[in-house]
Chains A and B, each alone.
Chain A
Amino acid sequence: DIQMTQSPSTLSASVGDRVTITCRASQSISSWLAWYQQKAGKAPKLLIYKASTLESGVPSRFSGSGSGTEFTLTISSLQPDDFATYYCQQYNTYSRTFGQGTKVEIK
């Protein structure tokens, strides 16, 4: 099975900061990677798919990059609404796997 490892697990940042979260796959997944945002008590929300394509309606301060085994999610200027937990997720024919999550906290 493909394992997904996110870092860091927790990130403390201030409004306006540039934030980067990393996700590594245990084997190549090409560009089959998505990023989600989840707030407490709510279902996850799709932010980015195919590693770098912004989902409709998602603010342009979110961006994704990478291919193969290393991927990043960047928030160019952190906003109050962005404090949440972020997950990466890989897709292949036989399974899907989520990273363990990165909690973005107020510094």
Chain B
Amino acid sequence: EVQLVESGGGLIQPGGSLRLSCAASGFTVSSNYLSWVRQAPGKGLEWVSVIYSGGTTYYADSVRGRFTISKDNSKNTLYLQMNTLRAEDTAVYYCAREEMVRGVYAFDIWGQGTLVTVSS
């Protein structure tokens, strides 16, 4: 079965760091584009970052310089290292696959989400 499973969320103080993980199964992270998308409580979806199959990365302005996306092809896992966290980073964080083989260029597989709460 093709799926993504996030982990690593929790309660963290402002200024702290947290690393999210997203384990893939049924496909390989090495040959796919993968993104992180977040959703603050009661708000809409916000794209955070993407990593291409070759390792190129891009970020939203709101997180550039604080967050780092990476992947471990041997573990088939995607990561998001979040530093200098702020209250406005509080959200459910989803990992999502962008389907390229079929030429979809959209998020066709999503994880269940992991909640990050930044609060003192």
Chain A residues engaging chain B, CB cutoff 8 angstroms: 1, 32, 34, 36, 38, 43-46, 49-50, 53, 55, 87, 89, 91, 94-101
State whether A96 touches B35 (Cβ < 8 A).
yes
Q: How many A-B residue pairs have CB under 8 A?
A: 59
Chain A positions within 8 Å of B27 at CB level: none
Give chain A's interface secondary structure class.
strand
State whether A34 touches B45 (Cβ < 8 A).
no
Q: Which of B18-26, B82-90, B100-108 contacts A (4 or more CB under 8 A)?
A: B100-108
**CB proximity of B32 to chain A, nearest CB, Å:** 14
Interchain residue pairs A-B with the least CB separation, the first 4: A34-B106, A43-B110, A49-B106, A96-B47
Give chain B's interface secondary structure class.
strand
State whether A49 touches B35 (Cβ < 8 A).
no
Tell me the complex Cα distance, A55–B106, Å. Answer: 10
**CB proximity of A9 to chain B, nearest CB, Å:** 10
Chain B positions within 8 Å of A91 at CB level: 98, 105-106
Chain A positions within 8 Å of B111 at CB level: 43
**Which residues of chain B in 47-72 are interfacial with respect to chain A, using CB atoms and an 8 Å cutoff?**
47, 50, 58, 60-61
Chain A positions within 8 Å of B98 at CB level: 91
State whether B47 touches A97 (Cβ < 8 A).
yes
Q: Is B28 an interface residue (CB 8 A)?
A: no
Given contacts A1-B61, A98-B46, 20 further A-B contacts (CB under 8 A): A34-B105, A34-B107, A36-B107, A38-B45, A43-B111, A44-B45, A44-B94, A44-B110, A46-B106, A49-B106, A50-B104, A87-B44, A87-B45, A95-B60, A96-B50, A98-B37, A98-B45, A99-B44, A100-B44, A101-B44
